[in-house]
């Protein structure tokens, strides 16, 4: 396969690049490096520094080379920021994505894998096993911006063959520590926990301990980023052979509360994870756990890292590497 990938200097995109290379495929990366890090992209990879709404530059790329599929990761991802600055999210995640898709269509690239989110579900009726057919009621502009982009693809099925992947909580790092999450202002629980573990932060805040859950803290379904990367390759094969548009949840189908994650972190670190309770954040759902029956039926989905300890160990090891490099 010859793959065009946006957002390759980011967390998930950089892991997908590694999976693409390890499976013998070709990839060209588009990233304007506004939030990504070039050092996360292997040096032999062709990187084109431009924004995804640069129609002229993208058209030239698409005219020069034939790509089998677009994997689209570029966008803004922070829920709390989206509440404070919704316009940024609708511009980056919706308008720019639509502009990218239309440029691809005009230049003959019709197969798209879109990086979406479980945030499109909001507070679903069955939070313990969310199916793709659930009514979609996002609680924040981040989720809304992704849903609007999903709807563009769904409403243009005559133009595109697509797979929409709704990520649950992505965490962990490459086992060889070639890439991982770099963020100056992290919002991911496991990233912040890892920073506390290596001494970069003093403590972690638990936002809300009054949810209707077993310990009062919110529950999420955590998927290791390397398993998610492999999903993209399997989905690309599916898209190119079956030629059928679809929507899949990406998770493990098992939820952990914030407190359970911290407790596991303390087991691994010898009780280094200090925490403090704080008020709930606007836009946070109580529980989000995937039902993965659909993706398991359609692709060869065999997770290798479906273990909270493995996820935490890789994340803490990556954070230690960053800390030693003063990053």
Q: Helices 141-154 & 96-106, crossing angle to 10 degrees? A: 20
Residue 145 · residue 119 · CB < 8 Å: no
- Tell me how many degrees the CA angle 248-251-254 measures, rounded to the nearest 5: 130
Distance CA 201, CA 194 (A): 9
> Residue 271 burial (CB < 10 Å; 0-12/13-18/19+)?
exposed
Alpha-carbon dihedral 19, 20, 23, 25, rounded to 10 degrees: -170
State residue 305 phi and psi, 5-degree precision: -125, 35
Q: In what order do the strands lie in the sheet with 256-257?
A: 256-257, 219-220, 287-288
What does the alpha-carbon distance between residue 312 and residue 182 come to, in Å, rounded to a whole number?
Answer: 15
- List the structure tokens of 288: 């989000």
Catalytic residue among 142, 162, 222, 238: 142
The rounded Cα 152 to chain-centroid distance in angstroms is 19
Residue reference for tokens 């649950």: 168
Catalytic, 256? Answer no
Active site residues: 142
């Amino acid at each position: 396969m010859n793959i065009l990938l946006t957002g390759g200097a980011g967390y998930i995109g950089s892991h997908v690049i590694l999976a693409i290379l390890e499976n013998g495929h070709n990839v060209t990366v588009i990233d304007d490096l506004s939030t990504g890090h070039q050092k996360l992209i292997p040096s032999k990879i062709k990187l084109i520094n431009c924004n995804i709404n640069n129609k002229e530059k993208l058209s030239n790329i698409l005219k020069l080379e034939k790509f089998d599929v677009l994997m689209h990761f570029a966008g803004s991802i922070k829920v709390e920021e989206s509440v404070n600055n919704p316009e940024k999210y609708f511009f980056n995640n919706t308008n720019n994505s639509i502009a990218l898709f239309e440029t691809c269509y005009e230049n003959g690239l019709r197969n798209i894998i879109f990086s979406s989110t479980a945030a499109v579900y909001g507070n679903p009726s069955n939070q313990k096993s969310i199916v793709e057919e659930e009514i979609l009621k996002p609680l924040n502009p981040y989720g809304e911006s992704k849903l609007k982009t999903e709807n563009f693809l769904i409403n243009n099925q005559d133009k595109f063959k697509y797979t929409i992947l709704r990520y649950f909580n992505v965490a962990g790092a490459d086992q060889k520590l070639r890439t991982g999450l770099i963020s100056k202002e992290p919002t991911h629980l496991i990233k912040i926990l890892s920073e506390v573990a290596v001494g970069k932060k003093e403590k972690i805040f638990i936002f809300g301990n009054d949810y209707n859950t077993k310990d009062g803290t919110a529950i999420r379904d955590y998927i290791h980023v390397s398993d998610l990367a492999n999903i993209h390759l399997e989905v690309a094969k599916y898209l190119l052979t079956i030629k059928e548009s679809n929507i899949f949840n990406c998770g493990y189908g098992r939820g952990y509360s914030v407190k359970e994650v911290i407790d596991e972190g303390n087991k691994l670190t010898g009780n280094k994870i200090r925490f403090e309770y704080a008020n709930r954040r606007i836009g946070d759902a109580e529980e989000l756990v995937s039902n993965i029956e659909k993706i398991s039926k359609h692709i060869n989905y065999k997770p290798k890292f479906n273990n909270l300890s493995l996820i935490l160990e890789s994340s803490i090891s990556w954070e230690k590497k960053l800390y030693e490099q003063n990053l």
